[in-house]
Amino acid sequence: MARYTGSVCRLCRRENLKLFLKGDRCYSDKCGFDRRGYPPGQHGQRRGRKMSDYGIQLREKQKIKRMYGLTEKQFHLFFKRADRQRGVTGTNLLVMLERRLDNVVYRLGFVNSRSQGRHLVRHNHFRVNDKKVNIPSYIIQEGDVIQPKNKKLQIITDAMEAVVRRGIPQWLDLDKEEFKGSVKSLPVREDLTMPMQEQLIVELYSK
């Protein structure tokens, strides 16, 4: 399957927003976005031209797609599923992305980044309701219990030590002693604090 293998710091710089794609490094003075807060490329430091409406919509779509680590095809499939649901399509999309298993293990603090979460989920390191789940796009439900198969795995223990820095969303609950997370309720739009304008994505796909 196609995946991005380049520098992820370039993605943050391109979207002019820290996407927290490299875990602890994003909180340190080594963060590429903090050190070079301008777009990548030889013309990155030049004053840019005014962006068209289409360009603004495209950048918003790219930002959210890269934040959750999805390919174009995966993102479009999620959009079509959100469009078929009742309610506001943009909100449905963001909530569905937030409920992905790779994102949930990241939000619970079991891993330092979504890409790390996706890697561990694929390699059978997490269980949902005491059942093995190795699909990163698995959509969690209210009441689900998520826990690592091996509590002593170094990657997980290191991530748990830094969980205080990020904090746990209100819709999740974490038992740090038992290495167990649970879904208290499904996320709502107000739980998503990153600056996102989902309506621009709806407008882009509606053309």
Q: Where in the chain is the domain with CATH 3.10.290.10?
A: 100-186
What pLDDT does residue 41 have? 60
What pLDDT does residue 48 have? 62
Q: Where in the chain is the domain with CATH 1.10.1050.10?
A: 8-97
Cβ atoms of 108 and 184 within 8 Å: the answer is no
Average model confidence (pLDDT) for the chain?
A: 84
Can you give the pLDDT of all 207 residues of the chain as single tens digits?
466 666 666 666 666 666 666 666 655 666 655 566 666 665 556 666 678 899 889 989 998 998 898 999 999 999 999 999 999 999 999 999 999 999 999 999 999 888 899 999 999 999 999 999 999 999 999 999 999 998 888 988 888 887 767 788 999 999 988 889 999 999 999 988 888 899 999 999 987
What pLDDT does residue 160 have? 85
Cβ atoms of 147 and 127 within 8 Å: the answer is yes
What pLDDT does residue 29 have? 62
What pLDDT does residue 82 have? 95
Q: What is the rounded distance in angstroms from the CA atom of residue 200 to the CA atom of residue 54? A: 9
* CATH 3.40.50.300 is the classification of domain 8-97: no
Q: 100-186 maps to which CATH number?
A: 3.10.290.10
